[in-house]
Each structure stands twice: as structure tokens, then as C-alpha cells.
């Protein structure tokens, strides 16, 4: 199960974008880049050798994601927006 919380100031919560687009962006960021992507040159420097856009951070096969639960949460007006992601591995009878 993956549980996502997107925290936004109250006056921006309805204008900030679709919840499904937030979740898509998070999932895409946790997967490996598409093979045709041309990564930024910063990934080729010696400082960033361990960071590889073609190596998944968490999601190796999006077809195996079994559940996603997400909320937009209201913050105080002067707070910066942020994400909170909790990841749990679950057993599935699906396969």
C-alpha cells in the first residue's frame, strides 16, 4: 500500500492541480527513466555517479503497485507545500 499526503496552504488547495497528476508525478519520480530519455549532464559528473535516472528509486514494475491512497491536506497560509509518502510492501493473492 502506498499512502500519499500532499500538504498545501488552504487558499491554494483547490487551485494547485489535480490529485491524480500529483500522484503520477510522484510515481514517475520513483521509477526508472524511460530508455529514450536524455538525462541532464549533471548525472554524468563524478559527484553524482551513484545517482542514475535509469535505476529505479523504488518502483521497479508499476504493474505491481496494488493500492494507492492519497489526500490533499490543508496547511496554514504561510506554510510551504510538501509531500509525505509512506510505503508498505503488501502480500497479494493476485499474483
Rounded to two decimals, the pTM is 0.61
Distance CA 22, CA 87 (A): 16
Distance CA 87, CA 64 (A): 13
Distance CA 73, CA 9 (A): 8
Residues above pLDDT 70, as percent of the chain: 87
Distance CA 87, CA 60 (A): 14
Distance CA 7, CA 82 (A): 5
> Per residue in 14-45, pLDDT tens?
777 777 888 888 888 888 888 898 888 887 77
Amino acid at each position: 500500500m502506498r499512502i500519499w499526503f500532499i500538504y498545501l496552504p488552504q487558499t491554494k488547495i483547490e487551485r494547485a492541480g489535480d490529485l491524480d497528476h500529483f500522484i503520477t508525478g510522484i510515481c514517475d519520480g520513483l521509477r526508472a527513466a524511460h530508455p529514450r530519455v536524455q538525462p541532464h549532464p549533471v548525472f554524468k559528473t563524478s559527484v553524482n555517479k551513484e545517482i542514475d535516472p535509469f535505476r529505479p528509486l523504488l518502483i521497479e514494475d508499476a504493474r505491481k503497485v496494488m493500492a494507492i491512497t492519497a489526500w490533499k491536506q490543508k496547511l496554514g497560509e504561510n506554510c510551504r507545500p510538501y509531500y509525505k509518502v509512506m510505503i508498505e510492501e503488501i502480500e497479494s493473492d493476485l499474483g
